[in-house]
A = this chain, B = another copy of it.
């Protein structure tokens, strides 16, 4: 069993300091001290909203917060009057793929522009109020570089934390994903996949737990991942188990030794159970249990121990489309329906839920690509970067989640799950000033999350109209 991660706190603080060092250079462009005054402020911690609030920011961080009469604005501060507006923390998406790499066209055409594609996606996220993203499967080197460029203020974009590969799975060309191997030279396909796999790909599934451990150690050493994600189940073959329980424990242990949170990808009841047994810190799409509902004991375990559970909520409208498209007896609809029921049960049980979308920026013409057109033509598609999180919040409301709980799922919960709550996820003194200015109350109607007027990240208002820039996949 798992659940006391406190022992790793020191390591985390150290890591946070180090990463702050990297990002510090980014914070010197706007006014040094600002005060946002007059708005209704929802701080993301679950506390009641503060009406007519003041939020003081210096050097990119929050220095004071409270009701306006109670907060002294430093002289010389740039004061922004936001009467009638609503402030909330920038959102966090627990699961994105900044380079989705889904079409063969995108994989090849942008072979030397992966960084631009990644930055574009980070900007689409930022523009829509997601100030921090956790990339859980992507080309590691390029993600690492864009993470650094954004942290250093060289590129605009959502703050990136990255896991690299889903350990044990492949890059995009295999049958596990998009099946392009018949059309590419082996060396070429291997080269593409290696950008994802980075030595932690499917070859690990053949190894003993001891050997898996060695490979994980090398994987962590060789790169700069912020967390680990491994495959508890297969990807295309959802009902199969990827790593044995012993191997999963080795992976979790190695991640923890390195001070990293470890999450798992599961798509069946047993793979979900195994990853909990193995001590995973975060259950990625915990609600996806395929053709069988989540077993009650597993649900209870998740709920009682508050294991962070990143659930892929879908709106009724999306479900209705799946039903119309695939039919009631189809595996596609059945699993979507079961997932929806799992979501309802998780909400009712008071699980610690994280907003997660699996989203990426899809090529502009993907609906015209016969291979994908059926899959991406649905209403309220959850995986559309920049829109998926709004749909998640609508679905949360439909599922009976309380407005404040949903807001926490979109903010502080994910920060906590990834051990980043000292930095982001709420509006509290000392934290980074990632702030959304909305024109309507998100607690009143989930649709109001879309009414973003301004986005502040690290204390700077972002020129969201100009994003993304340059356009790569979003170019019409």
Residues of A within 8 A of B (CB): 103-105, 108-109, 111, 180-188, 202-203, 205-209, 234, 237, 239-247, 268-270, 273-274, 289-292, 295, 329, 363, 365-366, 368-371
Q: CA A369 – CA B180 in complex, angstroms?
A: 10
Q: CA A292 – CA B208 in complex, angstroms?
A: 9
Let me know if A237 and B234 touch, CB within 8 A: yes
Let me know if A369 and B208 touch, CB within 8 A: no
Chain B residue with Cβ nearest A367: B185
Closest 4 CB pairs of A and B: A185-B365, A206-B292, A240-B240, A241-B241
Let me know if A365 and B206 touch, CB within 8 A: no
Q: CA A433 – CA B453 in complex, angstroms?
A: 73
29 examples of A-B residue contacts, CB within 8 angstroms: A103-B183, A104-B104, A104-B183, A105-B183, A105-B185, A108-B108, A109-B109, A109-B111, A180-B183, A182-B369, A182-B371, A183-B183, A184-B369, A185-B368, A186-B365, A188-B365, A188-B368, A205-B240, A206-B239, A206-B269, A208-B269, A208-B270, A208-B273, A208-B295, A209-B270, A241-B244, A244-B273, A244-B274, A245-B245
Residues from chain B with Cβ under 8 Å of A185 in the complex: 105, 363, 365-366, 368-369
Q: CA A270 – CA B369 in complex, angstroms?
A: 32
Let me know if B186 and A368 touch, CB within 8 A: yes
Q: CA A203 – CA B274 in complex, angstroms?
A: 18
Q: CA A202 – CA B268 in complex, angstroms?
A: 12
Q: CA A329 – CA B111 in complex, angstroms?
A: 25
Residues from chain B with Cβ under 8 Å of A237 in the complex: 234, 237, 240
Q: CA A77 – CA B454 in complex, angstroms?
A: 79
B105, B180, B243, B246: the one within 8 Å of A184 (CB): B105
Q: CA A368 – CA B363 in complex, angstroms?
A: 28
Let me know if B239 and A241 touch, CB within 8 A: no
Residues from chain B with Cβ under 8 Å of A241 in the complex: 240-244
Chain B residue with Cβ nearest A185: B365
Residues from chain B with Cβ under 8 Å of A291 in the complex: 203, 206
Chain B residue with Cβ nearest A268: B206
Q: CA A371 – CA B242 in complex, angstroms?
A: 29
Let me know if A289 and B206 touch, CB within 8 A: yes
Residues from chain B with Cβ under 8 Å of A184 in the complex: 103-105, 369
- Taking the closest CB of chain B, its distance from the CB of A289, in whole angstroms, is 7
Q: CA A139 – CA B223 in complex, angstroms?
A: 43
Q: CA A207 – CA B292 in complex, angstroms?
A: 7
- Taking the closest CB of chain B, its distance from the CB of A78, in whole angstroms, is 46
Chain B residue with Cβ nearest A103: B183
Q: CA A104 – CA B189 in complex, angstroms?
A: 13
Residues from chain B with Cβ under 8 Å of A108 in the complex: 104-105, 108-109
Residues from chain B with Cβ under 8 Å of A273 in the complex: 208, 244
Residues from chain B with Cβ under 8 Å of A274 in the complex: 244
